[in-house]
Amino acid sequence: MHLFRKKRTEEKVLSLSTLTWKRFKNEKMGIFSLAFLCLIFIIAILGYLVTPDKTPYCNEQHLEIALQPPGFSVYFLFIPKEPPVKNVGLFHKILFGQPALYHTIPLIDDTNTSNLDRSSHHVMKKVFWLGTDRYGRDVLSQLMLGARISLAVGFIAVSIALLIGVFVGAMAGYFGGKIDGILTWLINVVWSIPTLLLVIAISFVLGKGFWQIFIAIGLTMWVDIARVVRGQMLALKQQEFVEAGRALGFSSFRIIFKHILPNILGTLMVLSAANFSSAILMEAGLSFLGMGVQPPIPSWGIMIKENYAYIVLNKAYLAIAPGMAIMLLVLTFMIISRSIRNVMEVRN
């Protein structure tokens, strides 16, 4: 009998998963957005393996070729460094890049390159598909590595917000009474403070830096999750399966985390996708203001800050490219959030 029930349960879970996937496939924009997000994730994970500039932070500078247009190409003369630079391992290269093995000199004067043997490994042609910025850095490499920062801040901030928001909301909604009153007061106090000002205040306390901005954003995004979880908990704790758990002697934490929270997983997924986009926008805004990720770490917000003046100087693409990247990634998460909501809506 136990094996029969287990088999029936597995069949129900499998049929529900199949039905959910079929309903998600009907969301055409959702599938396209998911594919685009997977591509961005692959670029972010591989990092320096796929960027044209593989030096740390994609920060190889050549002022001789600064502010060149997209599609610009030039030959480089490669001179080995003394003492030689060692090749790093694959894992280290993915995370931190490969220090330059050569001194590279752009050969921008054709009269000096006419007698060079361009088939030699010491002379190589490079194409800058999105041009170069005012420091002569490859814009495409900066843009690709900036995706890692945006996805990292979203993942870490949403994880922190989920941990705090789910715990606070679950405790307030399930136990009620004085605990609910105290936690609701805390939620309302944090809710009343403008999010950007709160992030700036936490950033001042923690300091400027890579991890500090992730934590600061995460500590301000839990309020929305706590309010929703509290409301769902108030409704679900009156259901029969919760009463059955109490009658069987289950602990409160087991009822909350094993029986109630799985029933609001769809709502949490929608909130997480929406908060992911909010975290990306917040990080870009703080980096633009100089309070987020600090140079030379490439960030889409920093790229806009450094190049927004070129919008009126016939180099608008330097600021438009990271702006479009932010817009597309935020739009992707919003479409995925809507698709998840439609799929999880059981009343349809």
Interval 211-258: pLDDT, tens: 788 888 888 889 989 999 999 888 888 888 888 888 888 888 888 888
What are the residue ranges spanned by the domains of the chain? 19-45+140-344, 54-136
Q: How far apart are CA 134 and CA 318, in angstroms?
A: 10
Q: What percent of the chain has pLDDT over 90?
A: 32
**pLDDT for residue 23:** 57
* Cα-based distances in Å from 325 to 252, 286, 317, 333: 45, 16, 12, 13
Express each pLDDT in 146-205 by its tens digit.
Answer: 999 889 988 998 999 999 999 999 999 888 888 889 999 999 888 888 877 888 888 788
Express each pLDDT in 284-305 by its tens digit.
Answer: 988 888 888 888 888 999 999 9
Closest by CA position to 216, among listed 285, 116, 166, 141: 285
Q: What is the pTM of this model?
A: 0.83
CATH architecture of 19-45+140-344: Orthogonal Bundle (1.10)
